[in-house]
Structure 1
Amino acid sequence: MSKFTRRQWLTLIVISIADFCNAICVSLQAPFYPQEAHKKGCSATEYGLVFGIFEFVVFLISPIYGQHLNKLGPKLMFNGGIYTTGICAILFGLLDKVEGHYPFIILSFVIRITEALGNAAFLTASFALIAKEFPQNVATTFASLETFFGLGLIVGPTVGGALYQVGGYTLPFAVMGSALFMSAILTAIVLPTHEDEEDREAIPSMLNALKIPGILLSAISIIVTSMSIGFLQATLEAHLRSFYLQPVILGLMFIINGGVYAIVAPGFGWLCDKCISPKVVTIIGTVLVAAGFCLIGPAPFIPVETQLWLTMLGLVLHGLGMAAQLVASFTDALRTSITHGFPNNLETFGLISGLWTSTFALGAFIGPSISGILFDFIGFRNSTMFVVVLHLFVGVLVTIFLCLAKTRSAYVEIKDEKDLDNSSYVKSLQQNSVTESMNSICSLANGISIEKSRPAGMNSLIACNSYKSQAWPKKEASSLTVGPYSYSYGAVNHRNGSATPNSYLQGVA
């Protein structure tokens, strides 16, 4: 971070402020909206759907935002999403003025759906901006933003409850909605503008992206992690009811895993950027979540009764695990998409951002629904095994993938020809190319270089071609699809069709 430019620091600061305020507005109504809805004659099913519809709309709309991010512009989508969320938060605070059961619940759905549209736009654009502005530190900066978002989710219900006691139902929404609106004005002034890229390549759809096994595994990891979060939100209070905890203590139980997540997420981001593969971090996360849920219950095979300290330890492990999985999954999906030929530009960032937001929302929608059903039929301790088995299964899948996948070149971002010239990685490729060219010569008499792995006809073409000195093995050039350069038979070319100067790619004639 010491090497960040002024522009990068300002971008990180304003997005962090917006993330924090947005998370507060999204989680604000949890402590007191159900009570207000009950006064209006709404059932638990009805106001429960008001919460659930939010995640479902985010799941549906995020891929669309991701596909059109470059056309609309990330800054426009980012600010539009914040404005929409802030206005909807203020309007949600006026629902207590609505009389009648059906007008109240219908307006609740309309406002909540509109708020979800804004929130999805904000999240998709923010993740894409991070990938664009911090190409060398995607995981670290993404994790830092998630820290502020996690803190907002923790602070939201607390601040909301305090303001509710002071000024009633409307005050918390008016205060925090206005704060989010002000942060949107700040981002409109400070946030950099990214011009639409004229020579855009055709971006595959999200469905095509999910056909890549590495991206599919990342998406599955996000879904199951989000499901584990929703699982506890719906059933943890009922599980702890036998302890007769005071409301303050019960509220603290709900923020243990979120607090741990907010603290350790940057650390896992640093590991993904600097030390180990994101998929290894994902495996670590699945084990931690599974271990945490074994203690929260505790699991049926652990011969002890439910104990508060054991539940708290399990929540700590869950916070560690979900931080590892969520941070690693976004980073891994982005890197995998680029190494499989997706262009290293804003459209790809938008596609992966939309994928992350959509899959997380899907898990947040499924998790509470399944946990409620399992809790009613088999109880909390037995139902936790569903989460344990699911995460261990994902961990096994990722482990098998790592064992069977072919070794790929490291993730390299090449921005311009100057970077390419100075890249030690390219210099090493140059040396390897020279070595392989020497080894492939089997007849000096006729001057023909023969490579066994290449078709005979191609050997003749290369031998007679004046550009044969630019021979670049395709298997070594795969990583150069990252950035503005791509490979073709016999040479490394710029995407606009102009040949790259071969002074640094000179082989052996």
Structure 2
Amino acid sequence: MEDDEIEAESRSDSRAGAEDSNGEAAGRKPKISRKKMFTLVSTASVNFSSMICYSILGPFFPTEAEKKGVNQTVIGLIFGCYALCNLLGSLVLGKYIVQIGAKFMLCAGLFLSGGCTVLFGLLDRVPHGVPFILMCFIVRSIDAVGFAAAMTSSFAIIAKAFPNNIATVLGSLEIFTGLGLVLGPPLGGFLYQSFGYEIPFIVLGFVLILMVPLNIYVLPSYDATPSKDSFWRLFTLPKISLLCFLIFSMSSCLGFLDPTMSLFVIEKFHLPTGYVGLVFLGLALSYSLSSPLLGIVSDKMPNTRRWLMVIGGITAALGYCFLGPAPFLHLKSQLWLFVFMLALTGFSIGMTCIPTLPEVVKCAYENGFEDDLSTLGLVSGLYGAVWSFGTFFGPTVGGFLVEKFNFEWAAAAQGGLIFISVLFLGIYYFVEPCFRRPATTSVEENEERAPLLSNHI
């Protein structure tokens, strides 16, 4: 059976990883099976197509919404509701990924998200005021559930297919995530400026829908037994709680930029709407280009993960303080400084976020969670939920702060949130050795999990 072949390949790769870690197979290059290569192609297409549709709103939707009589706070809520529904969807779908099926969940999520993207392009025909706002909330909420289905299953499948190289594979796939983020804003801005509001959503929505038959054809099926563990047990582990706080702060700072940055750039630097998308490149390019290297470092030298997360978080906090810059720095806003801080922030976000998923997986296994797809569904669901909560908090609170104060103070507040999360995590890593308990698992369990907890993680 196909599932038996996949399990056999996974065990074979784990044994190969263990041999490499002991130096017994140093001269042998690892092989990637056809099924694993198809899995990479499938998840890469999900990352690219989903993010290009997600990111097209930034350059022009806030301006279009203002024409419809929507204020800055409500614009932030429209961006934020996507994240809130993504949060709920990630928790539910992550819990029931085994019952639904990872492959079906991924393909259904892509189709739903693509259809909603097309519908969002037709909202300019809705009357001004409350009807427009209401339809924005409905379509974006349904779109978020589809996105949650695609990304939750994608993370779980990657962790299942590549248990010894999670960070490396995720880092490599972030090239496609970054490519979607890079192409989305300028392409959306160009299509908007050339053809109007509808065309960007219709074109890119159909791109997402066309990815569905590709994934139906190439993606293998992964089955498992439903887990008896829960999100609550996973979340209440102290280390995972702190990692979740860090994930939340980083996603919050990214979500904050969606509804606020384009208006700030247009007002402060007087750039045309078509060029605003190019400013987004500073963040997306630095993140996507650095992620593969950071993933390799995270997998090959797992002891550096804590330092990557702490140093990356501190750098991101400083980047947001200089983004405005913050008024207490008494520096003048300049376009070159703004773009440079975006690039620095993109790199530092990669430093912080790439190691977090393998750290959460490792911590779950160390605390008795089963090594199967159901646990990976819980982990990916929790990760997606926390990330979504941050992308709800960032636009919502950020939009309010920008309206009540200004962009400079709001960006500095985001930097302060990142610093607090990094401070708590750094303190935990400092005191962790004092409270570490000896392993309580049996010899057999330790031998079974040894490959995943080897130097490759």
Shorter chain as normaliser: what TM range? 0.7 to 0.9
Task: Report the secondary structure of 2:430's partner residue.
Answer: helix
What residue number does 2:219 align with? 191
Contact 2:46 2:151 in 1 (8 A): no
Assess, with a 3 A threshold, how the Cα gap between structure 1 residues 405 and 264 changes in structure 2: closer, same or farther: same
User: What CA distance in whole angstroms lies between the structure 1 residues aligned with 2:120 and 2:417?
Assistant: 36
What residue number does 1:266 align with? 292
What residue number does 1:177 align with? 205
Q: Any residues of structure 2 matched to 1:60-71 within 5 Å, and which?
A: 60-71=88-99
What residue number does 1:228 align with? 253
User: What CA distance in whole angstroms lies between the structure 1 residues aligned with 2:127 and 2:216?
Assistant: 37
Which has more radius of gyration? 1
Amino acid at match of 2:415: V
User: What CA distance in whole angstroms lies between the structure 2 residues aligned with 1:188 and 1:248?
Assistant: 36
Assess, with a 3 A threshold, how the Cα gap between structure 1 residues 358 and 6 changes in structure 2: closer, same or farther: same
Contact 1:292 1:316 in 2 (8 A): no
Q: Any residues of structure 2 matched to 1:183-222 within 5 Å, and which?
A: 183-197=211-225, 200-203=226-229, 205-222=230-247
Task: Report the secondary structure of 2:354's partner residue.
Answer: helix
User: What CA distance in whole angstroms lies between the structure 2 residues aligned with 1:380 and 1:99?
Assistant: 30
Amino acid at match of 2:78: V
**Unmatched segments (≥5 aa) in structure 1:** 410-473, 487-509
Q: Which segment is superposed worse, 205-214 or 142-151?
A: 142-151
Figure out how many residues of one structure are paired with residues of the other and give that number: 420
2:111 maps to 1:83: yes
What residue number does 1:339 align with? 366
Amino acid at match of 1:288: T
Task: Report the secondary structure of 2:31's partner residue.
Answer: coil
User: What CA distance in whole angstroms lies between the structure 1 residues aligned with 2:97 and 2:52?
Assistant: 25
What residue number does 1:465 align with? none
Offset, 1:318: 0.8
Offset, 1:81: 0.4
Corresponding residue to 2:375 among 330, 341, 348: 348
Amino acid at match of 1:331: P
Corresponding residue to 2:336 among 299, 309, 327: 309
What residue number does 2:318 align with? 291
Cα offsets for 1:361-409 (capped at 9, x unmatched): 1111111233333344554444444233332322222222222223899
Assess, with a 3 A threshold, how the Cα gap between structure 1 residues 213 and 77 changes in structure 2: closer, same or farther: same
What residue number does 1:365 align with? 392
Assess, with a 3 A threshold, how the Cα gap between structure 1 residues 235 and 103 changes in structure 2: closer, same or farther: closer
User: What CA distance in whole angstroms lies between the structure 1 residues aligned with 2:35 and 2:80?
Assistant: 38
Contact 2:73 2:400 in 1 (8 A): no
Offset, 1:49: 3.0
Assess, with a 3 A threshold, how the Cα gap between structure 1 residues 390 and 483 changes in structure 2: closer, same or farther: farther
User: What CA distance in whole angstroms lies between the structure 2 residues aligned with 1:28 and 1:232?
Assistant: 13
Contact 1:140 1:273 in 2 (8 A): yes
Offset, 1:168: 3.5
Assess, with a 3 A threshold, how the Cα gap between structure 1 residues 64 and 38 changes in structure 2: closer, same or farther: same
User: What CA distance in whole angstroms lies between the structure 1 residues aligned with 2:236 and 2:33?
Assistant: 37
Q: Which segment is superposed worse, 24-33 or 14-23?
A: 24-33
Contact 1:339 1:478 in 2 (8 A): no
Task: Report the secondary structure of 2:433's partner residue.
Answer: coil
Corresponding residue to 1:57 among 82, 85, 88: 85
Offset, 1:264: 0.7
User: What CA distance in whole angstroms lies between the structure 1 residues aligned with 2:170 and 2:142?
Assistant: 26
Contact 1:339 1:482 in 2 (8 A): no
Offset, 1:148: 1.2
Task: Report the secondary structure of 2:371's partner residue.
Answer: coil
Amino acid at match of 1:16: A
Offset, 1:42: 4.9
Assess, with a 3 A threshold, how the Cα gap between structure 1 residues 41 and 243 changes in structure 2: closer, same or farther: closer
2:164 maps to 1:136: yes
Offset, 1:210: 1.4
Task: Report the secondary structure of 1:202's partner residue.
Answer: coil
2:172 maps to 1:147: no
User: What CA distance in whole angstroms lies between the structure 2 residues aligned with 1:163 and 1:309?
Assistant: 26
What residue number does 1:323 align with? 350
Offset, 1:99: 5.1
Cα offsets for 1:277-325 (capped at 9, x unmatched): 3222211211211221233233455453333333333222211111112
TM-score (norm 1): 0.75
Contact 1:55 1:116 in 2 (8 A): yes
Q: Which segment is superposed worse, 94-103 or 337-346?
A: 94-103
Assess, with a 3 A threshold, how the Cα gap between structure 1 residues 167 and 315 changes in structure 2: closer, same or farther: closer
Contact 1:234 1:372 in 2 (8 A): yes
Q: Any residues of structure 2 matched to 1:363-402 within 5 Å, and which?
A: 363-402=390-429
User: What CA distance in whole angstroms lies between the structure 2 residues aligned with 1:479 and 1:318?
Assistant: 44
Assess, with a 3 A threshold, how the Cα gap between structure 1 residues 251 and 28 changes in structure 2: closer, same or farther: closer
Task: Report the secondary structure of 2:355's partner residue.
Answer: helix
Assess, with a 3 A threshold, how the Cα gap between structure 1 residues 292 and 189 changes in structure 2: closer, same or farther: same
2:52 maps to 1:24: yes
Assess, with a 3 A threshold, how the Cα gap between structure 1 residues 131 and 170 changes in structure 2: closer, same or farther: same
Amino acid at match of 1:172: P
Q: Which segment is superposed worse, 355-364 or 93-102?
A: 93-102
Q: Which segment is superposed worse, 351-360 or 149-158?
A: 149-158
Offset, 1:178: 1.7
Contact 1:138 1:331 in 2 (8 A): yes
2:123 maps to 1:95: yes
Cα offsets for 1:400-424 (capped at 9, x unmatched): 2222223899xxxxxxxxxxxxxxx
Contact 2:256 2:394 in 1 (8 A): yes
User: What CA distance in whole angstroms lies between the structure 2 residues aligned with 1:48 and 1:181?
Assistant: 27
- What is the percentage of aligned positions where both structures have the same residue? 33
What residue number does 2:279 align with? 253
Assess, with a 3 A threshold, how the Cα gap between structure 1 residues 28 and 309 changes in structure 2: closer, same or farther: closer
2:295 maps to 1:275: no
TM-score (norm 2): 0.83
User: What CA distance in whole angstroms lies between the structure 1 residues aligned with 2:111 and 2:137?
Assistant: 19
Assess, with a 3 A threshold, how the Cα gap between structure 1 residues 250 and 167 changes in structure 2: closer, same or farther: closer
**Structure with higher helix content:** 2
Assess, with a 3 A threshold, how the Cα gap between structure 1 residues 15 and 216 changes in structure 2: closer, same or farther: same
Assess, with a 3 A threshold, how the Cα gap between structure 1 residues 255 and 104 changes in structure 2: closer, same or farther: same
Assess, with a 3 A threshold, how the Cα gap between structure 1 residues 328 and 297 changes in structure 2: closer, same or farther: same
Assess, with a 3 A threshold, how the Cα gap between structure 1 residues 145 and 35 changes in structure 2: closer, same or farther: same
Offset, 1:37: 4.6
**Unmatched segments (≥5 aa) in structure 2:** 1-28, 451-457
Q: Which segment is superposed worse, 167-176 or 230-239?
A: 230-239
Say which structure, 1 or 2, has more relative contact order (CA 8 Å, 6+ apart). 2
Offset, 1:149: 1.6
Contact 1:344 1:483 in 2 (8 A): no
